[in-house]
Amino acid sequence: MSENTSLEIRDIEKRELNHIVASYEENSNELLERVPELIDWDMFTRKISPEMVDVLRMQHKRLKNREMTIKTQEKGLTKGFESGKVYYLQKENRYQDGPYTISVLQKKTKRIREYYGGKEILAKAKDKGWVTYFVRQEPEETVKLSSEDRVSGLRRFFSRGGEYKLVQKKRLSFCSLLPILIPAWFGIAVVTNILYLVTGILLLNHFYDTDLGLMLAISLLGAAALNFSARGTLIYMVICHLKRAKSYKVLQSIREQWPDFCMEKFISMASNRLKCIFYADSMADIGDFVSCDLTNTLVDYANVIDCETMDFRFEKMSQDEDYYYIDVRQKVLLTGDLKTKIKRKKLTVKLRFMRPKESIMSMDFYRDWYIGEIKIIK
């Protein structure tokens, strides 16, 4: 096969990935804005995973029952894969995840969402950040969108997509030194900034009536603030990296038990089931995958009209005589309908997934996991 032919096929693959994501965005936004009576669910089934279809069905039902609609306007802030060609997405990486091929796609957007109760607009929310799409290629099946996350700021460098890079590079040795280096480095930063602040205050008191003294004082105070901010940002990045590395270590222990474990397929199942919980009206809606009583939780979050996932981490893998357990942590952004206004808040949810060792429930390994415990951290 010639080099030109390979490039042409690669370009076709990119266009296919763009088409899948663009089609999902367009149709899901229309679904939330119009909340139509008749919906071509088969169209969604062809482009996205069954778990995502279940979520859309339940969100559509919640919006319809509360007579709410969500209008979305989105502007891409990035250009595409190649110079001179504008694609829908900016970055694309491809990884082997167990027996599956996973494409991790990113774009930066500016989004405006308007929330309507009937014909009356209740609120308008503006977001700017990165959207990450995970597209799954299963053996002998078509490519489908599996899950999506929204992140902002520095978090995008440490999102779950970065776990694939840890799998490839296996860079974990340096992390063992960080718990020692961080406190020492932070202590030096604190002392340095105190000196900056004291010097600035002394200069301000001594030269308060001169322009030069004022300029020196302001400069020193500004330098101290910038220094402290920069060091704090670096510490935050190191902490995020340590948390991601811990999640990767748990993933390693899971793959010791199941070598073909697909991270994305499990996360897609877990995050989409969590969304279903926030959209559920009763335990009957989620009884197929929840073993604990969440009646009070469903009442507390009965006004949620939109749930977006922001990050996912593995916390622990364990087992006893009868069950395997995988503990995870998921960050979400919830939008609630308070009738006269809209409220948005970020939450962290801890979940424990259980799977019987002698499971005969399903031929699908990932569907056999059900939620045994859930804790919502406000």
Highest mean pLDDT pick, 26-30, 152-156, 207-211, 348-352: 348-352
- Residue 306 clears pLDDT 90, i.e. is over it: yes
Residue 66's φ and ψ, nearest 5 degrees, are -95, 5
Give residue 5's pLDDT: 40
Give residue 373's pLDDT: 96
- Residue 340 clears pLDDT 80, i.e. is over it: yes
Helices then strands (H, E): number in the chain?
Answer: 9, 9
How many other C-beta atoms are found inside a 10 Å radius of the C-beta of residue 345?
A: 10
The alpha-carbon radius of gyration of the chain (Å, integer) is 24
Give residue 211's pLDDT: 61
Give residue 160's pLDDT: 83
Mean pLDDT of the chain: 82
- State which amino acid sits at residue 201: I
Give residue 163's pLDDT: 73
**What average pLDDT does range 79-93 have in this prediction?**
55
Compute the distance between CA of residue 361 and CA of residue 175 in angstroms, rounded to an integer. 40
**What average pLDDT does range 130-149 have in this prediction?**
87
Higher-scoring residue by pLDDT: 81, 377: 377
**What average pLDDT does range 2-6 have in this prediction?**
38
Residues 313 and 243: beta-carbon distance below 8 Å: yes
**What average pLDDT does range 274-283 have in this prediction?**
97
Q: For residue range 189-242, what is the model confidence (pLDDT) as tens digits?
A: 676 667 666 666 666 666 555 565 566 666 666 666 766 776 677 777 778 878
- Residue 61 clears pLDDT 60, i.e. is over it: yes
- State which amino acid sits at residue 41: W
Give residue 101's pLDDT: 87
Q: For residue range 8-22, what is the model confidence (pLDDT) as tens digits?
A: 446 677 778 888 888
Higher-scoring residue by pLDDT: 308, 165: 308
Please list, in sequence order, all residues whose beta carbon lies within 8 angstroms of the beta carbon of residue 353, skipping any fewer than 6 positions away: 270, 325, 326, 327, 328, 369, 370, 371, 372
Domains of the chain, by residue range, sit at 3-174+241-377
DSSP state letters, 72-116: EEEEE-S--SSTT---S-SEEEEEEETTEEEEEEEEEEEEEEEEE
- Which pTM does this prediction carry? 0.83
Burial 122-135 (b: 16+ CB within 10 A, else e): bbeeebebbbbbbb
